[in-house]
Amino acid sequence: MSAYYKNNRSEEDQGYHDYSESEDYPDFPAPLNNPDDPRTRRNPYSAGSRVSPDYPVSLAEPDYPGSLSNPDHPSTMNHPFSATSRISPDYRRSVAEPDYIELQRNPYHPSSSRQPDSSQFQQNPDVAYSRSSGNHADSRTNPDYFGSLPEPDYPGTQSNSNHPGSRTNSTHSGSRRSIEYAGSRINPYTDSLGEPDYPGAKNQHNSSHFWGEPDYPGAKDYQNSPDIWGEPDYPDAENGHDYGSSEAPEMTRGVLSRTSSVQSMFHHRIDGPLVIHRRENEDYPENIEMTSMEMTDSYGHSLPGAPRKGYVNPAYVGESSPVCAFENLMLSECDWHKSPEGQKLIASLIPMTSRDRIKAIRNQPRTMEEKRNLRRIVDKEKSKQSNRILKLNCCTQCLHSISRAYQRSKNSLSEFLNTISLWQKTLKIIGGKFGTSVLSYFNFLRWLLKFNIFSFIVNFSFIVIPQLTVAEENTLQFTGLEFLTGAGYFRDTVMYYGFYTNSTIQHGSSGASYNMQLAYIFTVGISLVICFFSLLFSMAKYFRNNFINPHIYSRGIAKLIFCWDFTVTHEKAVKLKQKNLSTEIRFLKTHSNPGAVLLLPFVVSCINLVVPRFYSMFRLVERYEMPRHEVYIILIRNIFLKISIIGILCYYWLNIVALSGEECWETLIGQEIYRLLLMDFVFSLADSFLGEFLRRIIGMQFITSLGLQEFDIARNVLELIYAQTLVWIGIFFCPLLPFIQMITLFIMFYAKNISLMMNFQPPSKAWRASQMMTVFILLLFFPSFTGVLFTLAITIWRIITYLYWQITEGRKIMIRLLHEQIINEGKDKMFLIEKLVKLQDTEKKVNPSSLVLERSEVEQQGPLHLGECDAAPGLRFRQSVQEDNSRA
């Protein structure tokens, strides 16, 4: 920081005394110089470029102010540019710093939250530098701001009259800029289009291609130059954004922010609140909330193209590079397209079909103006291309116009469909009052309605209308009761199948015939098929949208916070929602709820409890001769139930839990099985003691006709089988499971025993016990045990393959390391040999007499050296190949 100040001071000393003194702002002068110096102007973003070693050097150059005319200046200017574009982390850091400064200024800002930032940049010299510029900017801002209040044109005079006079290089830069502009204007992108690939933000080399000039930022300069201030000083996108749309009424504010933020975004960030605060108070005094908000928000639309780390969507590529930040000055909305990202995007858009292109443009996170320009440019390019290549081919032109017409008709169709979208207003009100959750029900209802409307239209037009043309007179009486019964009068109407004729309808002798039978079948069939497919597609769509990866659903608080329901617009509802949210947050805060994992076993056990009973009730309807058959039937039913439950669970464990990338999914499954087993046990116990007991009470006391119940063998056996299956599955994941099962079986035995004694009557029918036992064991073996074996096999296989995979991965890493080692050793040898040769040379010079002695040594070394030299390019080549690979 101090270094930077010094730097400024030194600049000042070099020839701007007069200026600063005449202005009479003691703290001012250094910053004031900066705006005019294009290099300093770039300081803010060169925060990123500071990674490159030579940038600080260039900063430290004594002839700093004169560097504009310096021939190497373009390269230094380029440097930050390219560096930032490549090394975005640093850039980001520099962007983040203003917060710190702001924090110092802004009373609303809790300092604790910013601590990481501040520490970060205190450690980092680079950042310290940019911080200093921030502060320095700030020091400038306030005087500027206050000073300009009484005399609004102060900044203008300051920049226009003083600077050019005192410095030639500022005008120089101006003229240069315009030249660049001209250049850039001539070949905005046509040149670049000729290029096979759009280089992106990789380096200045490419940008120089674009502009035909080494000085890439020149284009940016141009963007600023038409500005009334003629200042080359709006370096970052943030500020530029503001200027871009500044208009006459806001001029004074614009002036303020402009002049004060001449240097960097830091400025702007700092004086933003002030400016807007004032403005708000002037213009809209009633809006107090806004002003306080504006303290932080005023920077508003800033950093439109600020770096985004790892932003994956290719559509947003433009955003991911700071280059965009430079280019995204609003003054020239169209200029975004000229940036490498814009070019890239345009290039990628051109080969698309018009539908995809429109979609891609729509999905751009840009302002309307930018999107519109993008669209215009792409269209122009497209037509140019097609003119160039396909001038002679009228057929393609024809196709083109057809596709256009199709597009248009599709648009109007969707417009038409939109007009018939039902209950738009009502849904809005419902959503506004009750939120999306309630709304979803109505949406579903509406969706079903659409289905039915479709079916009705199809049926009506293809079945009912033809039938009506040949309808016979209805002779039945209509009493009104038919509305309830649906019979009577309606029997002989188009309502029912029986009314439709099974003949071919033909009007007149020459009229077209209509086969009613075929029509009936096909209409119903086709409408069902269409419904099926649309159901399928909408289901797929909903799944895609809502269940992209359900196993990573967060139950957490973040969802609560960021999923505010924007549909809710009703004041009361909003308040209620806010209240709910705060209670929910409080609840979440206090309860992390470890019991939630018990939900699954609970549900499974409930199913196990209820459904078999339901099956048992079938007994009342189906009367079997042999009790054995009855048991078997029930067994089979229950077995399907249990198999499906266990199957689903296994699928869930093996395909979702196992692949979810948890630390140790085997343990998770073991826990799950343990819970299931325990829950099952608890349910069985409760069932024995409560359910069966209650049943006895009811049977004995209240409904004596029911009498005592009989012991349901099938159900109870299956419960055991189910538990045993679980144990077998879980034995791999939880080796102590048999022990637990042992205990539970032990307890169950006594519990069932007591329950049986108390609550049941002996079976009224004879059983063949030995056969039944066989069946039980068969059941235990076949679905249960083989299933378990299968599951385990899958598990083990998966683990083994995983192990192998790990091993191969490890070997790959090993190979790479060895490779690197070989390369490094080669380098080492080269280095040593060079040293040796140098040493020998110097020794020869110093001591020529020893030449004779050492010659033999040199000769010995010679061939070796040559060999190394030969080997070196090979190594290098390999290395570069490797690098390419890793990059790819």
Partner 1 sequence: MGSKQTVFTHEQLEAYQDCTFFTRKEIMRLFYRYQDLAPQLVPLDYTSCPDVKVPYELIGSMPELKDNPFRQRIAQVFSDDGDGHMTLDNFLDMFSVMSEMAPRDLKAYYAFKIYDFNNDDYICAWDLEQTVTKLTRGELSAEEVTLVCEKVLDEADGDQDGRLSLEDFQNMILRAPDFLSTFHIRI
Distance CA 6, CA 12 (A): 10
Locate 259 and state its tokens: 């002049």
In the complex with partner 1, the residue whose CB is nearer, 513 or 660, is 660
Q: How far is CA 722 from the centre of its chain?
A: 42
Stretch that binds partner 1, among 220-228, 577-585, 769-777, 839-847 (CB under 8 A): 577-585
Instruction: Kindly state the smallest distance separating residue 638's Cβ from partner 1, in Å.
Output: 35
The answer to whether 338 and 189 have CB atoms below 8 angstroms apart is yes
Residues 469-528, interacting with partner 1 (CB under 8 A): none
Q: Give the position of tokens 């890439």.
A: 216
CA 564 to the chain's CA centroid: 18
Q: Smallest distance from the beta carbon of 396 to partner 1, in angstroms?
A: 22
**Contacts to partner 1 from residues 816-875, by CB under 8 A:** none
276 binds partner 1 (CB under 8 A): yes
Cα separation, 235 vs 215, whole angstroms: 15
For the CB of residue 320, give the shortest distance to partner 1 in the complex, in Å: 9
Out of 83, 137, 237, 306, name the contact with partner 1 by CB under 8 A: 306
DSSP-derived letter for residue 584 is: H
Distance of alpha carbon 616 from alpha carbon 155, whole angstroms? 92
Backbone phi, psi, residue 506, to 5°? -145, 125
Does residue 89 contact residue 309 with C-beta atoms inside 8 Å? yes
| Nearest C-alpha neighbor of 188 from the set 343, 317, 298 | 343
Contact predicate 84/90, CB 8 Å: yes
Residue from 363, 396, 753, 821 binding partner 1 (CB under 8 A): 363
Under a CB-based contact definition with an 8 Å cutoff, are residues 243 and 328 in contact?
no
Residue with Cβ nearer partner 1 (509 or 554): 554
CA 120 to chain centre: 28
Residue with tokens 């046509």: 190
Using CB under 8 A as the binding rule, the residues of this chain from 88 to 107 that contact partner 1 are: 92, 95-96, 98-99, 102
Nearest residue (CB) to partner 1, 579 versus 765: 579
Q: Which residue from 130, 143, 125 is spatially nearest to 101, judged by alpha carbons?
A: 130
- Choice between 411 and 880, CB closer to partner 1: 411
Cβ-based neighbours of 589, under 8 Å, separated by 6 or more? 557
Cα–Cα distance for residue pair 291/289, rounded to 1 Å: 5
Min dist. Cβ of residue 92 to partner 1 (A) = 7
- Burial category of 676 from C-beta neighbours within 10 Å (exposed 0-12, middle 13-18, buried 19 and up): buried
Question: Which residues neighbour 598 within 8 Å (Cβ) at sequence distance 6 or greater?
Answer: 675, 679
**Alpha carbon distance 772, 764 (integer Å):** 17
Which 585-644 positions form the footprint of partner 1 (CB under 8 A)? 585-586, 588-589
574 binding partner 1? (CB under 8 A): yes
How many other CB atoms are there within 10 angstroms of residue 173's CB atom? Answer: 23
Stretch that binds partner 1, among 148-156, 342-350, 362-370, 495-503 (CB under 8 A): 362-370
Stretch that binds partner 1, among 11-19, 200-208, 359-367, 461-469 (CB under 8 A): 359-367
Residue span 521-550 as binding mask against partner 1, x where in contact by CB under 8 A, dash where not: ------------------------xxxxx-
Binding partner 1 (rule: CB under 8 A), the pick from 197, 312, 502, 625 is: 312
User: Does the protein bind partner 1 through residue 420 (CB under 8 A)?
Assistant: no
Q: Nearest to residue 326, comparing CAs of 101, 52, 55, 78?
A: 78
Shortest CB 571 distance to partner 1, Å? 5
Q: Name the segment binding partner 1 (CB under 8 A); options: 1-9, 369-377, 503-511, 652-660.
A: 369-377
- Out of 80, 156, 230, 307, name the contact with partner 1 by CB under 8 A: 307
The stretch among 137-145, 368-376, 632-640, 848-856 that binds partner 1 (CB under 8 A) is 368-376
- Residue number with CB closer to partner 1 (40 or 302): 302
x-marked contacts with partner 1 along 234-263 as a string, rule CB under 8 A = -------xx-xxxx--x-------------
Residue in 30, 101, 349, 361 binding partner 1, rule: CB under 8 A: 361
Pick the closer one to partner 1 by CB: 656 or 700: 656
Which DSSP state fits 496?
S
Of the candidate residues 403, 440, 506, 513, the single one contacting partner 1 (CB under 8 A): 440
Cα distance between residue 214 and residue 205, in whole Å: 8
Cβ-contact 95, 239 below 8 angstroms: no
Stretch that binds partner 1, among 366-374, 444-452, 456-464, 837-845 (CB under 8 A): 366-374
Nearest distance from residue 367's CB to partner 1, in Å? 6
Binding mask 396-415 for partner 1 (x = CB under 8 A): ---------------xx-xx
- 114 contributes a contact to partner 1 by CB under 8 A: yes
Which of 857, 860, 831 has the alpha carbon at shortest distance from 844? 857
Closest separation between CB of residue 296 and partner 1, Å? 5
Kindly write down the DSSP assignment for every residue of 799-822, as one continuous string: HHHHHHHHHHHHHHHHHHHHHHHH
In DSSP terms, 481 is beta-bridged to none
CA distance 690 to 789: 36
Closest CB to partner 1 among residues 253, 878: 253
- State in angstroms the smallest separation of the CB of 333 from partner 1: 10
Size of the site for partner 1 (CB under 8 A): 108
Least Å distance between CB 273 and partner 1? Answer: 11
Q: Which helix (H) or strand (E) holds 606?
A: helix 599-621
Diameter over CA atoms, the chain:
138
Smallest separation (angstroms) from partner 1 to the CB of 585 = 5
Closest to partner 1 by CB, 249 or 863: 249
Binding mask 755-774 for partner 1 (x = CB under 8 A): --------------------
Q: How far is the CB of 270 from partner 1 (least distance, A)?
A: 12
x/- string (CB under 8 A) for partner 1, residues 553-572? Answer: xx-xxxx-xxxxxxxxxxx-
Of 522 and 553, the one with the shorter C-beta distance to partner 1 is 553
Tell how strand 709-710 and strand 513-515 pair up.
unpaired
- Shortest Cβ distance from residue 338 to partner 1 (Å)? 19
| C-beta of 656 vs 698, nearer to partner 1 | 656
Q: Does 651 bind partner 1 (CB under 8 A)?
A: no
Instruction: Name the residue nearer to partner 1 (CB basis): 405 or 528.
Output: 405
Angle at 554 between CA 551 and CA 560, to 5 degrees: 150
Q: Which of 53, 107, 282, 418 binds partner 1 (CB under 8 A)?
A: 418
**Which residues lie below 8 Å from residue 574, measured CB to CB, with a gap of 6+?**
568
Query: What is the Cα–Cα distance from 322 to 49, expressed in whole angstroms?
Result: 11
Contact flag: residue 720 with partner 1 (CB under 8 A):
no
Would strands 760-761 and 709-710 be described as parallel, antiparallel, or unpaired?
A: parallel
Which window, 141-149, 467-475, 581-589, 655-663, contacts partner 1 (CB under 8 A)?
581-589
Sign of torsion, CA 579 582 583 584?
positive
Q: How far apart are CA 5 and CA 57, in angstroms?
A: 16
Point out which span in 216-224, 365-373, 672-680, 830-838 binds partner 1 (CB under 8 A).
365-373
Contacting range for partner 1; rule: CB under 8 A; set: 223-231, 421-429, 667-675, 708-716 = 421-429
Q: Is 330 in the site for partner 1 (CB under 8 A)?
A: yes
Q: Which of residues 286-305 bind partner 1 (CB under 8 A)?
A: 286-287, 289-290, 293-294, 296-303
